Amino acid sequence: MNLIILGPPGAGKGTQCERLVETFGLVQLSTGDMLRAEVTSGSELGKKAKILIDAGNLVPDDLIIAMISSQIDRPSTENGFILDGFPRTTAQANALHKMLSEKSLKIDHVIQLAVDEEIIVSRLSGRFSCAKCHAGYHDIFKKPNKDGICDKCGAQEFLRRSDDKPETVRSRLRAYREQTAPILPFYDEKGVLKVVDGMGSMEDVYNTVREIILNG
């Protein structure tokens, strides 16, 4: 089972992936996480990416396509994968299609999380994650059970993303509208696009996505 999860920044892609990885044993391939790891490592790619990410712009297609291709080839994806944040442009969607055909793989479902733009700034301004295991939280919608302690690994250090500032979020939304939303008809025509209302609770959204995976 191979999935793509699509939606604007803050739609809940990462949140749903955490649950889907646990339940279905899929590997999450998040281009955003891969880029942030490059930034942390201080690599040349990371230095270039940081400038673009902090401005709310997309990283060039060729860099992203090379990055994801090597990840799909890893043995850990044997049970299936969820592409989170990829593809994001028409060029990436075409490259993915070609790459998967060459590897005799296919995408079973493309899940689009639909969320109103007004709610996104509040979701992202309250987001934080565990510095150690990267579990995701929110100041209002998903607090750790014990204040200041990660539910999953017990760490006491948390991080906030530098691109979650309201002005950067507005640029990210524009990039989504102009460069990512146009790829949705490509998947609709292939009959694999499933639109899920991402405005409900995390649990409701998860149950809908789970139902799609189990029953199509």
Does position 88 interact with ligand AP5 (CB under 6 A)? The reply is yes
Number of residues that bind ligand AP5 (CB under 6 A): 35
In this structure, are residues 212 and 23 in contact, taking their beta carbons and an 8 Å threshold?
no
In this structure, are residues 20 and 13 in contact, taking their beta carbons and an 8 Å threshold?
no
Which residues inside 126-145 make contact with ligand AP5, applying CB under 6 A? Answer: 126-127, 136, 138, 141-142
- CB burial of 19-58 (b: ≥16 within 10 Å; e: otherwise) equals bbeeeeebbbbbbbebbbebbeeeeebbebbbebbeebbb
Distance CA 152, CA 133 (A): 8
Distance CA 59, CA 72 (A): 19
The residue from 19, 48, 142, 161 that is catalytic is 161
As beta bridge partners, residue 159 has: 129
The amino acid at 162 = S
The amino acid at 29 = L
Does position 202 interact with ligand AP5 (CB under 6 A)? The reply is yes
In the complex, the smallest distance separating the C-beta of residue 19 from ligand AP5, rounded to whole angstroms, is 10
Give the contact letters, 32-71, x = binds to ligand AP5 (CB under 6 A), - = no: x--x----------------xx--xxxx----x-------
Q: Say whether 160 is catalytic.
A: no
As beta bridge partners, residue 149 has: 146
In the complex, the smallest distance separating the C-beta of residue 109 from ligand AP5, rounded to whole angstroms, is 17
Q: Say whether 123 is catalytic.
A: no
- CB burial of 142-158 (b: ≥16 within 10 Å; e: otherwise) equals eebeeeeebeeeeeeeb
Which residues inside 99-118 make contact with ligand AP5, applying CB under 6 A? Answer: none
The residue from 13, 36, 50, 123 that is catalytic is 13
In this structure, are residues 120 and 175 in contact, taking their beta carbons and an 8 Å threshold?
no
**Binding range to ligand AP5, per CB under 6 A, among 31-39, 71-79, 100-108, 148-156:** 31-39
Residues that bind ligand AP5 (CB under 6 A): 7, 9-15, 31-32, 35, 52-53, 56-59, 64, 85-86, 88, 92, 123-124, 126-127, 136, 138, 141-142, 163, 172, 201-202, 205
Q: Catalytic residue positions?
A: 13, 88, 127, 161, 172
